[in-house]
Chain A
Amino acid sequence: MSATSTAGTPGTPDPGATRRPSVGLDDPRLKDRSTSRTYAALALIVALLAVLPLLLDEQTEAVAIRTLIFAILAVGWNLMSGYGGMFSFGHAAFFGIGAYTDAYLLVEHGVSPWISMLVGATISAAAGTLIAFLCLRYRLAGAYFALATFAFAQVFLLAVQNLDFLRRTEGFNVPLLLEDSWSMMQFEQGSPIYFWIPLAVLALGLFGTVAFVNSRAGQYVQAVRDDEVAAASLGIRVMRYRLVTVALSCAFTSLAGAFYTQYYFFVGPEQAFGSGVSVNAIVPAVIGGIGTVFGPLVGALVVGPLSEWIAQILRDPPESLAFLQGVTGLDVAIYAALLVLIVLFMPKGIYGTLRDRFRS
């Protein structure tokens, strides 16, 4: 009722003239059922995950938390590279900005991590937007865009290693407190809160992804990804919507970095800006399914526990695999092989492929 009347401009005297051709926004035919179903599924998943820390022992919880960090990274990367079509090979830069902003502000100025998260997200979004603007301004695409983002992440790594106020290669140790503190985001070891915080961040990312994908900006950027020229000729401001996507992706990725510092009590240049971090953002998303809401989560659930599971096998190998005892590198080797196989045989990832199969 009120929705239809707002469609007319304030000066329009006859509301009937504007109402007749338009369909009411509350018309049941226009209800986006699949989106509300996605929201419901997400809410269910988050609720189920939230119970996990009450059931898991401390060691398994640590694996679960690492999995959540993978998932947050992958969700952030997926926003820019999956939906935005800008293949980033340098998400370590944004993870690192989050981690280092948190560490620096906390250690040097005693700032609460919650505030540092916001500061870090802002800096990260600004840095990401600038980098992406330069790359897009000079028309880098595909492989060149990936290489440029990789180079920028390396520059960040090298810069941190050479800057005194960021303690060069030493990194930051987070000072330990004697008791739990919400304001300083420090809790007893093994506390379920350490699981719930990244879960809340992940939930924000997943719901945010759905909301973004269905928003005007999200629709535009996907149109640009699929056909830049066509989108531009329809009047979509290509650069603007791409940069919006990049800013969201980078801001979100930095949250994972801030939490990383808080949870592991230490951050150094390699842990924050190393190329391995960029790989950790890409691999779960690719394995799960690029450009899907659930893909990064599925991928993280595969990749996260994998190395722990393999480590367990190596500690106490069955007889047929006895020669593997004490060998290092197998976990990454398997994860690498999985990556190659997925790209070759399931280019849409585990979730993407399954979804397509059930639809048809």
Chain B
Amino acid sequence: MTTSPTATDPGGPTIVEPDRERRSLKLPAAPLFVLAAVVVALALVYTVGQRETGLVTQSVATGLLLGGVYALVSVGLTLIFGVLGIVNFAQGAMLTMAMFLVYEMSTSGGIPVYVATLLAVPVMFLFGVLVQATLLNKLTMAGNEEGPLLITLGLSLLIVNVLLMIFGGRPLRVPGSVSGRVEILDAIMSYERLIAFGGALLVAGALTLLLRGTSFGLSIRAVSANTQGASLVGVDVSRVYALTFGIGSACVAVAGGLMAPFLSLTPSVGEQFTILAFVIVVLGGLGNVAGAVVGGLIIGLVQTVGALYLPGTGSLILVFGVFVLVLFFRPQGIFGATR
């Protein structure tokens, strides 16, 4: 933690002040700027993009819905990465785990998918608490960054391969969910994806309420802002860490359950989401729930609208391009102001 040198050093302000000044003025403008950039980019695609209007509308709709899914995975990670500072490489694997949990409940137990999702939430929460308490707490408390990264990497490989041992590599489908689609402004959207999108907003809302409106949320924010200070005023830091990881995992459980109906399940299905979730979390700002949602939507749009010009996996290059630019030029993200 570095304190501002301007407070103590009267000789320094001429050098340091302008930069700080500009940054603090720029902050509230950043989300607006990003919004404007997205709108302008879309307007350009519509007007001079040389693509059929209907096609563009469809990819915007698909992109927003995909973004909803991304947001769902990322809100959990933004807590884990933002508060605990853990590069959780197992986020995608935990997502897969949740999906298989839901799959198992709905095929063997005959429980409807969305009910199974609710049941998966406490299971994944406990799993997350356990992981943090047994594997990660010691290293996180010591401020070690690479240790947790390696552990979650190992955990991710472990989860994926244990699932492979149990379920095999053949793609599976979760049966009997809401089918059908709806047409809005010439764009076709499936109910399942709309429900996932709604779920993302709901989870984000609930998390925001938890963080802003409860005393537990206050202690999470306190630990995030200043771990030492929080522990000095009586916050049980290791407990907050464990519960935060648990909440992050519970979010993934919701994500897994809502995504299971429209994905074919293989043990590696979640892996692609890990790195995308990091992209989104950094883009939105560490620990910022609204940032994760907006970041998810932007990345979803970049991927689908970008695919109009770079087909196949090519549009992912754009996504990583955005990521690298954000890392270099705005590492605190769109909404980030805390670090």
> Which A positions have Cβ atoms within 8 angstroms of B?
87, 89, 134, 138, 140, 142-144, 146-148, 150-152, 154-155, 158-159, 161-162, 279, 282, 286, 327-330, 332-333, 335-337, 339-340, 343-344, 347
B135 cross-chain contacts in A, Cβ below 8 A: 340, 344
State A144–B139 Cα separation when bound (angstroms): 18
User: How near does chain A come to B238, taking the closest CB pair, in angstroms?
Assistant: 16
Asked whether B161 lies within 8 Å of A134 as measured between CB atoms, the reply is no
Q: What residue of chain A has the Cβ atom nearest to residue B158's Cβ? A: A336
Q: What chain B residues lie within 8 Å of A161 (beta carbons)?
A: 312-313
Q: Is the CB of A152 within 8 A of B324?
A: yes
Contacts of B162 in A (CB 8 A): 329, 333
| Chain A residue with Cβ nearest B328 | A138
Cβ contacts B130-143/A at 8 Å (1 or 0 each): 00000100110000
Docked CA distance A88–B132 (Å): 24
CB-defined contacts of B175 to chain A, threshold 8 Å: none
Interface contact A155-B314, CB-CB below 8 Å: no
Query: Is A333 in contact with B158, judged by CB distance below 8 angstroms?
Result: yes
A87, A140, A328, A336: the one contacting B165 at CB < 8 Å is: A328
Beyond A147-B282, A328-B169, whether A282 also contacts B154 by CB under 8 A is no
B140 to chain A, nearest CB (A): 12
B157 at the binding interface (Cβ < 8 Å): yes
Of chain A, the residue at the smallest CB distance from B279 is A151
Per-residue CB contact flags for chain B residues 159-192 toward chain A (1 = under 8 Å, else 0) read 0111111001100000000000000000000000
B331 touches A333 (CB 8 A): no
B165/A327 in contact, CB under 8 A: yes
Whether A162 contacts B312 by the Cβ 8 Å rule is yes
Whether A148 contacts B327 in the complex (CB less than 8 A), given A154-B320, A155-B321, A336-B155, comes out as: yes
Contact with A along B302-334 (1 / 0, CB 8 A): 000000001011101100110110011101000
A151-B324, A158-B316, A333-B165 in contact; A279/B157 too (CB < 8 A)? yes
How would you classify the secondary structure of chain A's contact residues: helix, strand, loop or mixed?
helix
For the complex, what is the distance from the CA of A39 to the CA of B154, rounded to whole Å?
33
Judged by a CB distance under 8 angstroms, whether B278 is at the interface is yes
Known: A158-B313, A336-B158, A339-B157. A151 touches B320 (CB 8 A): yes
Query: Are the CB atoms of A155 and B317 closer together than 8 Å?
Result: yes
B310 pairs with A330, CB closer than 8 A: no
Smallest CB-CB A-B distances: 7 pairs: A329-B164, A336-B157, A329-B161, A339-B154, A333-B161, A340-B154, A336-B158
Given A87-B149, A159-B317, 14 other A-B contacts at CB below 8 A? A144-B282, A146-B149, A147-B278, A151-B279, A152-B320, A161-B312, A162-B312, A279-B153, A328-B165, A329-B163, A329-B267, A330-B165, A336-B161, A339-B151
B147 proximal to A (CB < 8 A): yes
Number of A-B pairs whose CB atoms are under 8 Å? 116
Residue in B closest to A139 when the chains form the complex, CB atoms: B331
Q: Are B331 and A343 in contact (CB under 8 A)?
A: no
| 18 CB-based A-B contacts, threshold 8 Å | A140-B328, A142-B145, A146-B146, A151-B320, A151-B324, A152-B320, A162-B313, A279-B153, A282-B150, A329-B163, A333-B165, A335-B157, A336-B156, A336-B157, A339-B151, A340-B135, A344-B135, A344-B139
Provide the bound-state CA to CA distance between A154 and B316, in Å.
Answer: 9
Most chain A CB neighbours (cut-off 10 Å) among B85, B169, B331: B331
B95 an interface residue at 8 Å Cβ cutoff? no
Please name the residue on chain B nearest to A340 by beta carbon: B154
Residue B87 at the chain A interface, CB threshold 8 Å: yes
Q: Is the CB of B165 within 8 A of A329?
A: yes
Most chain B CB within 10 A, of A151, A154, A327, is at: A151
**Are B165 and A347 touching (Cβ within 8 A)?**
no
**In the complex, A332 Cα to B267 Cα: how many Å?**
13
Q: How far is the CA of A282 from the CA of B139 in the complex (A)?
A: 19
A150: chain B residues at CB < 8 Å are 275
- Residues of B with C-beta under 8 A to A155: 317, 320-321, 324
In Å, the complex CA distance between A115 and B327 comes to: 36
CA distance A286 to B157 in the complex (A): 15
- Is there an interface contact between A339 and B153, defined as CB atoms closer than 8 Å? yes
- Kindly state the separation between the CA atoms of A158 and B316 in the bound complex, as whole angstroms: 7
Which residue of chain A has its CB nearest to the CB of B134? A344
* Chain B residues closer than 8 Å to A332, beta-carbon distance: 157, 160-161
Q: Are B275 and A347 in contact (CB under 8 A)?
A: no
